[in-house]
Amino acid sequence: MSRGSARRLRLGLPKGNLQETTQRLFTQAGYPLRIPERSYYPDIGDPEIECILIRAQEMARYVDQGVLDAGITGLDWTLERRARVKEVADLRAPWPQYGPVRWVVAVKEGSRIRKPKDLKGKRIATEIVSLTQRYLRRHGVKAEIEFSWGATEVKPPILADAIVDVTETGSSLRANNLRVIDTVLESTPRFIASRAAWADPWKKRKIERLLLMLQGAIHAIDRVGLMMNVPRRCLDRVVAILPALATPTISNLADPNWIAINTVVEERTVTELCPKLSEAGARGIVEYPLNKIID
């Protein structure tokens, strides 16, 4: 056994809201995660990676301490814990829980609190106490901040005057008759590494290779491949229809009067694009799914 194969990268994967999408992402990237029931140690199919399921709220602390070499968590929790880690990549993706979320200041409809200055002397409930303290200091406001164990949106106006809560679409806030007065932070999932792991050549290379595949899967999420046969006389018309960012591969066919085109496009454009391509002369148009696009 070589020296490299005897080493392992200890990777923290987020348990909870991010877990299902993370499992889907890794599987599409070529790392099929198998999570046995009631187990916190998923099998990733790579003998050089050891996975542990950890709450996203705790991930940055363990990476900072070097207990974990790397992990996936939100920017919000890295900042909340004041973790000294290496932020390697932003993993935002158009999948549930992997898009941007906002931590917002919200109050009950009808509240007299309209701007940050109005929070002076008020009670604020939140899960991100440290970030909220820093937010209030930036606005020169002193208020009482208490940690919320959950169901934060139901606390105004009886249990708290205002809350700082996380939202993706705002639907939960609206359902609870809450009004947003300001944004504290926008957050997305981040891949972070410990300083010691990033300084270790073997671990750094392992992280970079893993990220290459993860980001390749993210780039492919909302794209599909298109291939078609085109009469040579129609080539210019067909290429002109393809999106400007598409860089088609053009190949000769056995029949010198025909050529093959292969390209990648955004999936949402296909329903309008294919009829136009057909009208321009393209034939045998095939749409196929993509797992990864490696730049």
The 8-class DSSP code of residue 34 comes to B
One-letter identity of residue 69: D
Instruction: Kindly state the helix (H) or strand (E) to which residue 219 belongs, with its residue range.
Output: helix 201-220
Yes or no: say if 121 and 141 are a contact pair by the CB < 8 Å rule. Answer: no
Q: What's the confidence (pLDDT) of residue 39?
A: 85
The overall average pLDDT reported for the chain is 94
| pLDDT string in tens for the chain (295-residue length) | 344 457 999 999 999 889 999 999 999 999 999 988 888 999 998 999 999 999 999 999 999 999 999 999 999 999 999 999 999 999 999 998 899 999 999 999 999 999 999 999 999 999 999 999 999 999 999 999 999 998 999 999 999 999 999 998 888 899 999 999 999 999 999 999 999 999 999 999 999 999 999 999 999 999 999 999 999 999 999 999 998 666 899 999 999 999 999 999 999 999 999 999 999 999 999 999 999 999 8
Q: What is the DSSP string of 163-211?
A: EEEEESSSHHHHHTTEEEEEEEEEE-EEEEE-HHHHHSHHHHHHHHHHH
Closest listed residue to residue 223, CA positions, set 295, 290, 294: 290
Yes or no: say if 194 and 85 are a contact pair by the CB < 8 Å rule. Answer: yes
